[in-house]
Structure 1
């Protein structure tokens, strides 16, 4: 058996180091791009005070978003049954609904019966307002779903669009508390 050369053992650590550096740079680039996209998409969305929202949920409950946000932070989740990214974000929203106040707004997703059927089929328990014609979406200046707002005392404390991770959304709610 031939002894291993010292160049082989030195080459492996340098490959690992190079891989880690490249992975780190790719991660930083990904964070920069997604942050930039988030800022660009949210430029027309409310900053500061939120539009007045008093509406009825798909189950008949009256929702006064500003009043609710004075008690504790409220997560407002704009989504659609037709939205592919929402299929990945909605389970996180449902998980957070166990500990936080969540109000979701189903955009262009049909009548309330259809929206409730979708929610029941997927086991989602979050409170939902049906925006069947996209009126609320326009009022809030939203151009893409999913869009998620954290509201505290009637003010926007955080906004994000697109895919969001469970730890990221949880942290946003913690910071608003």
Structure 2
């Protein structure tokens, strides 16, 4: 076999280096994630009882017994706007409650939702009081609440649809 062909085939050392590098990346990712979520509520989910922007009552107690995604976002946040279609699709299969932080009153948020053809549950949090109770200092921020009302996952930043679905499935006890 020629020398150039041998160089193209990864040897044991190459695989060990790749494994080491992947482990380092996972540790860095985990550390950053822990740092980003350090302020977020943990343990039992804080109370969430309010009226959605359509006037309907929303309560985590009413959703007890199944996993729920509680997502904090803002109409002014470009990353949040990127995630809205994911939340729309997710809300068809899972319980999703969102809180629009510092985004104005219900009328302003309803207009925003109507322009984008979105109809998932939204609670207005114009002064950020609810967000502070949950420890949210940056959006998007999300919580996956298990059927017993415990926060199972906390996330900050852009999250994929399959990542949210996997977390909800795991919170349900789907393994």
Residues 4-61 of structure 1, C-alpha deviations (whole Å, 9 max, x = no match):
x92232233359x95x877766655444333222212222222111221110000001
Match 2:56 to one of 37, 43, 61 = 61
CA distance, structure 2, for counterparts of residue 112 and residue 138 of structure 1: 19
Query: What RMSD over aligned residues (CA atoms) do the two structures have, in Å?
Result: 2.3
Q: 2: distance between equivalents of 1:66 and 1:111?
A: 24
Asked whether the equivalents of residues 67 and 154 of structure 1 are also in contact (C-alpha less than 8 Å), the reply is no
Partner of 1:164 in structure 2?
159
* Cα contact 1:45–1:141 (8 A) shared by 2: yes
The partner residue of 2:119 within 125, 131, 134 is 125
More helix, by proportion? 1
Q: Larger radius of gyration, structure 1 or 2? A: 1
Q: 1:21 to 1:82 in 2, by over 3 A?
A: farther
Structure 2, gaps ≥5 residues long: none
Could you say which residue in structure 2 is the equivalent of 1:101?
95
Q: Counterparts of 2:19 and 2:79 in 1: how far apart (Å)?
A: 25
Give matches, 1:68-147, under 5 Å.
Answer: 68=63, 70-147=64-141
1:176 matched to 2:175: no
Matched with 1:11 is 7
Q: Is the 8 A contact 1:74 1:100 kept in 2?
A: yes
Deviation at 1:161? Answer: 1.0
